[in-house]
Amino acid sequence: MQRYPALDFIRGCAILGILLLNITGFALPSAAYLNPAWQGSIAPADAWTWAILDAFAQLKFLTLFALLFGAGLYLQAPRGSRWIASRLTLLVFMGFIHGVFFWEGDILLDYGLIGLIVWRMLRDAPAERALLHTGILLYLVGCAVLLIFGLLAGTQTTRSWLPGAADLEYERYWKLTGGWEAIQNRLDHLSSGLMALASQYGWQLAGLMLIGGALMRNGWLRGQFSLPHYRRAALLLLGTGWLLAIPGIVAQWQLGWDFRWTAFYLQIPRDLASPFISLGYAALCLGFWPAIAATRISHALQCVGRMALSNYLLQTLICTTLFYHMGLFMSFSRLQLLAWVPAIWLVNILFSVLWLQRFPQGPLEWLWRRLTRLAAGKPGNSSVIR
């Protein structure tokens, strides 16, 4: 399969960007991911940290990664149904292991399950316009379901949104102790996540994959349009996205992160804005790619992108070691946690660059490919990493 250096670079940025939010999921209680006032109050520094990350990162890099996942599915389609089905089934299996035995914030299982549903649409759609329109429609359905959930939700604040002292102590206990107690809790998270995937998030994820496939099919994500086009598109997309997102951020702050508004109604502006901002980031990279490609950091981030699976799971290994096995869970504020991010990024970059100097694929990418070959009944050379 042909590689696109600009897409590897963008994928690398997405993997590193995801950590900006995931660090909170690792180091703070689960309520802190969407509710910055999870303790009942919030310091100004943490409030501003939340607001800036919400505008520039929250959901944006996950959205970008979903778009690129759909583009990758489109490129993989010529390999045939057995290859794609085997590859995505293995991704579901890896996601299950990751989500149950390592960290409850896994996204691999969701991507694998939705990928199994949408890849035939990517393959069989008569034109990219049909893919694009279907993707947009599915994404908007997911936003509409969120609105319905808000209408059905009660006004009572839930313990998952504003946990009490006992809830926090129990979460600290099972995350630091591990064992069967942690597995049971992660299974509960997995069950809730699958319900959310089936009822709301899955619509959006499927829509993003179809949009990514459509943009790959028409050449937009391949960089086949002019540099001025991408620069104009970046300006328009980012401007539109932030016009949608910023009022929602201000409203959440003004309402004191009220449960019903913040968990449902004011998620909608963020959800509507994220595809615009994510595609705006991609357009910036494509519009200035000749200058970006000439830098040293470009090669390093391309390596990170080529080893996206390995680096995603490496982040889990590092963060669970730091915050669970070394007992640093709930030891840092939202702002202080950002100090860890560059250090973990550096590990991702060094690991990727040094590994790809020796091997053509990341370790988990090689394993995934090898197991896919076996599952699909295709011959392959298992003696070297390819």
Q: Is 386 a residue whose pLDDT tops 90?
A: no
Q: Is 276 a residue whose pLDDT tops 90?
A: yes
Would 261 be classed as within a structural domain? yes
285 HSE (CA, 13 A, CB side): 26
Among 14-18, 72-76, 244-248, 375-379, the least confident range: 375-379
Dihedral sign for Cα 20, 307, 65, 216, please.
Answer: positive
Please give the residue range of the domain that contains residue 164: 5-376
Quick one: average pLDDT of 222-232? Answer: 97
The four Cα atoms 337, 339, 340, 344 give a dihedral, to 10 degrees, of 140
Cα–Cα separations (whole angstroms), residue 259 to 81, 104, 162, 164: 44, 22, 9, 15
* Helices and strands, number each (H, E), in the chain: 18, 0
Q: Cα 250 from chain centroid? A: 24
Would 386 be classed as within a structural domain? no
Band (277; pLDDT cuts 50, 70, 90) = very high
Would 382 be classed as within a structural domain? no
Q: Cα 295 from chain centroid? A: 26
Hunting for tokens 């994820």 — which residue is that?
A: 205
Distance CA 209, CA 68 (A): 7
158 HSE (CA, 13 A, CB side): 11
Would 88 be classed as within a structural domain? yes
136 HSE (CA, 13 A, CB side): 10
Band (247; pLDDT cuts 50, 70, 90) = very high
At 379 the pLDDT is: 59
Quick one: average pLDDT of 170-175? Answer: 96
**pLDDT (tens digit per residue) in 302-344:** 999 999 999 999 999 999 999 999 999 999 999 999 999 999 9
Six-digit token string for 188: 């509960």
* Number of neighbouring beta carbons within 10 Å of residue 58: 24
Q: Is 3 a residue whose pLDDT tops 90?
A: no
**pLDDT (tens digit per residue) in 118-142:** 999 988 888 889 999 999 999 999 9
* Domains of the chain: total: 1
Distance CA 36, CA 353 (A): 35
Would 245 be classed as within a structural domain? yes
For the chain, give the percent of residues with pLDDT over 90.
87
* Residue of 343, 321, 328 whose CA lies nearest to 27: 328
Q: Is 30 a residue whose pLDDT tops 70?
A: yes
Cα–Cα separations (whole angstroms), residue 10 to 17, 254, 282, 283, 291: 10, 34, 7, 10, 14
Q: What pTM was estimated for this model as a whole?
A: 0.94
DSSP track, 33-73: GT-TTTTSS--HHHHHHHHHHHHHTTTHHHHHHHHHHHHHH
At 32 the pLDDT is: 93
Own/partner long-range contacts of 169-173 (Cβ < 8 Å, ≥24 apart): 171/29, 171/30, 172/329, 172/330
Quick one: average pLDDT of 194-223? Answer: 96
Residue 175 is which amino acid? K
Q: Which residues of 175-211 are buried (b: 16+ CB within 10 A; e: fewer)?
A: bbeeeeebeebbeebbeebbeebeebbbbbbbbbbbb
Q: Is 383 a residue whose pLDDT tops 70?
A: no
Cα–Cα separations (whole angstroms), residue 106 to 111, 116, 315: 10, 17, 11
At 1 the pLDDT is: 64
The four Cα atoms 200, 206, 208, 211 give a dihedral, to 10 degrees, of -140
* Residue of 85, 62, 81, 84 whose CA lies nearest to 72: 84
Six-digit token string for 282: 């991609």
Six-digit token string for 41: 């109050």
Q: Is 77 a residue whose pLDDT tops 60?
A: yes
Six-digit token string for 56: 């520039």
Would 381 be classed as within a structural domain? no
| Burial of 283 from C-beta contacts in 10 A (0-12 / 13-18 / 19+) | buried
Radius of gyration of the chain (CA): 20
Would 273 be classed as within a structural domain? yes
Would 385 be classed as within a structural domain? no
Rounded to the nearest integer, the mean pLDDT of the chain is 94
